[in-house]
Amino acid sequence: MPAPLQTIASSQQLPDQADVVVIGGGIVGVWAAYSLAQRGVSVALVEKGQVGAEQSSRNWGWCRQQNRDARELPMATKSLDLWERFAAESGEDTGFTRCGLLYLSNDDQELAGWARWRDFARTVGVTTHMLSSAEAAERGQPTGRSWKGGVFSPSDGIADPARAAPAVARAIMTRGGTVHQGCAARGLETSGGRVSGVVTEQGTIRTKVVVLAGGAWASSFCHQVGVRFPLASIRSSILSVGPSPAGLPDALHTAAVSITRRGDGGHTLAISGRGRVDPTLQQIRFAPQFLPMFSRRWRSLLPGGLEGVRSGHETLRRWRLDRPTPMERVRVLDPTPDRGTIRLTHERATALLPGLKSAPITAAWGGYIDSTPDGVPAIGEVGSLPGLILAAGFSGHGFGIGPGAGHLIADLITDQAPIVDPKPYHPDRFAGFSAGKVADF
């Protein structure tokens, strides 16, 4: 069962020419196109399936600074402001609210890690509150348990994954940009060593700048144009229940299970970090670079099956531009949720919050998380192909930081002062074989 998602109508006509073409209508692509359209840049967004239908509607909806790696924290902070401003700016509703995020724990080591992060966050002006045992019990009252402690991050929040990307896509069109669904980009044309066009299944758009925001498909697309971009996708499984009884927290994380209020009045339930690795040739190719990441995270990762090979998003095959590509065969990457994980998640959630027992399961789905070797996204112009701006590898954090990423992409393209320092994101850090420092959280 796919994740719930609003549908939107596409623009009428694919343009022959645009200042910028954005490939991919996930949260990153739509925010980039919106930020460009806001500045009067002519922008066309092409999406092979439906806006928001892959990772961007399959996530929890957390927009958090809490526990962010130092490289991503500035972007997370700016993104929260952009989420907040968007409703007034566009008249659209993404379901964003600064409800605060609550973390509860009985593990001294985990609590010490959160305290260290609090101390670091303070140095960059981000406030988060460590909770004593009594405070944790009070905030976590619906669990009916005692806790050693916790943390509450009051300026963080959630948005609604079923509504957010479609809402931003509508705002692109209001500002003069175009959005084309069911329109896969098959490849790029180049002239004089730089991008000169995007070949789509509906025709070619002449452009000097293309933003590749293709999520889990970005590496195989890069492979077509000779750009090495190490990416591995992890299959995550998640479910929704609803309507949920009143009084449950909006957003609660524990080591066992996490829950998030949904825009439809239910809750999303998931186990943080848990996922299956479906081996593919692409993963074997990049395996050495992922060793540091996998050796840190192996406890929560399980071996998968052939699902990734079948869906083709990590193919090493070269495709032709005049024939249908794997992206046209699989319009929406809709991996099978892992039944064992869904069962376990539901058991843990109802044990943690007995109030959830009365809420029926409404859907369960899978999602491929596109991860880079260091867990930090690749955002910026690819050195070996001028005009190609890569914006992928959001490593499970891209929903919350989508607005900041989109803004940064537009800053780089329009030569304006960047909203955050772009250096930590530069895609050329992956051109060699080093893994980089794996993100802390």
Sites of contact with ligand FAD (CB under 6 A): 23-29, 46-49, 53-56, 58-62, 184-185, 213-217, 221, 236, 238, 327, 367, 369, 392, 394, 396-400
Nearer to ligand FAD, 72 or 137 (CB): 72
CA–CA separation, 393 vs 232, rounded Å?
Answer: 9
Residue type, 243: P
Cα radius of gyration (the chain): 21
Interacting residues of 100 by C-beta distance below 8 A, sequence separation 6+? 152, 153, 154, 155, 156, 157, 250, 251
To which residue do tokens 């005009």 refer?
387
91 C-beta neighbours (distance < 10 Å), count: 11
Nearer to ligand FAD, 24 or 436 (CB): 24
Q: Where are the beta strands (DSSP E) in 163-310?
A: 178-181, 185-191, 194-200, 203-206, 209-212, 232-241, 251-253, 258-261, 267-270, 275-277, 301-303
CB of 184 to ligand FAD, least distance (A): 4
CB of 239 to ligand FAD, least distance (A): 10
Nearer to ligand FAD, 152 or 221 (CB): 221
Nearer to ligand FAD, 38 or 345 (CB): 345
Residue nearest to ligand FAD (CB): 26
CB of 14 to ligand FAD, least distance (A): 12
Residue 378 backbone dihedrals phi, psi, to 5 degrees: -100, 115
CB of 378 to ligand FAD, least distance (A): 10
Nearer to ligand FAD, 66 or 137 (CB): 66
CB of 371 to ligand FAD, least distance (A): 9
Residue 368 backbone dihedrals phi, psi, to 5 degrees: -85, 120
CB of 292 to ligand FAD, least distance (A): 20
Nearer to ligand FAD, 74 or 367 (CB): 367
CA–CA separation, 83 vs 104, rounded Å?
Answer: 26
